[in-house]
Amino acid sequence: MRIRRRTAAITGTAAALALALSACGQGEQDAEPAAQQPAPAPAEAQPAAEGVTTADDVFGPGCAQVPTDPNDPGSVQGMVDDPVGTAASNNPLLTKLTAAVQAAGLGDTLNKADTPYTVFAPADPAFDALPKETLDALLTDPAKKQQLTDILTYHVVPQRLDADGLAQAKTVPTAQGGQLTIEGSGENLKVNGASVLCGNVPTANATVFVVDKVLMPGQ
């Protein structure tokens, strides 16, 4: 009887030990970390919209006359976030263009956030080259408002183009309905014979080219 009891006790102990080892092995399997999933690929950078430039793309001898303090709203960097009508009004090269835009009532049109433009902006000396009586009449005579509007919209292309895009296009349609002829490329770019003083200037809705002549429809 003693032998049987000892044998049974040994058998029971062995079974309990086997059960414990089995449970321990199962716990170790459950504790294994799940396989790591591959990290998602980083999103590709989106290319800049056609014709959109940055402050680094600006060129031309007239750019040296623009404020360099980035906090100045008339600087190249300061113009970036403003729509073109507002940006031009802050630029010291374009005070007479700003007066003409106000006289024609085109400020809101140029500031449309959802409308892209290329704007050829005559610098102040370009307006000074016009006969004084002609300029005064355009700015003050209500009967000349449509003529002034036609002149100003002849400087506006309802599409955003940078210098390279203009050079490739050769001709571009204007908001006035006429066409502008583009010659040369880079810093030698000309628009209807007018030289670019400061080009590829970015604003919120337009790319601006400051030119040295007032462009006249039909000429």
All domains of the chain in start order, with CATH? 55-211 (2.30.180.10)
The model carries a pTM of 0.78
- Residue of 202, 192, 210, 135 lying closest to 162 (CA atoms): 202
Return the SS3 of 14: helix
pLDDT band for 49, please (50, 70, 90 cuts). Answer: confident
**What mean pLDDT do residues 49-74 have?**
90
By mean pLDDT, which of 39-43, 120-124, 151-155 is the weakest? 39-43
Residue 219: per-residue pLDDT: 75
Residue 40: per-residue pLDDT: 53
Q: What whole-number distance in Å separates Cα of residue 24 and Cα of residue 18?
A: 10
Residue 170: per-residue pLDDT: 96
Q: Number of H helices and number of E strands within the chain?
A: 9, 7
Residue 68: per-residue pLDDT: 87
Kindly report, residue by residue over 189-213, the tens digit of the pLDDT: 999 999 999 999 999 999 999 999 9
Residue 17: per-residue pLDDT: 38
| C-beta separation of 144 from 100 below 8 A | no
Greater pLDDT, 101 or 2: 101
Kindly report, residue by residue over 63-117, the tens digit of the pLDDT: 999 988 988 999 999 999 999 999 999 999 999 999 999 999 999 999 999 999 9
**What mean pLDDT do residues 142-155 have?**
97
The tokens describing 82, both together, are 């403003």
**What mean pLDDT do residues 180-186 have?**
95
Q: What whole-number distance in Å separates Cα of residue 181 and Cα of residue 184?
A: 10
Kindly report, residue by residue over 155-182, the tens digit of the pLDDT: 999 999 999 999 999 999 999 999 999 9
pLDDT band for 39, please (50, 70, 90 cuts). Answer: low
Spatial strand order in the sheet of 194-202: 156-157, 117-122, 206-211, 194-202, 190-191, 179-183, 171-173
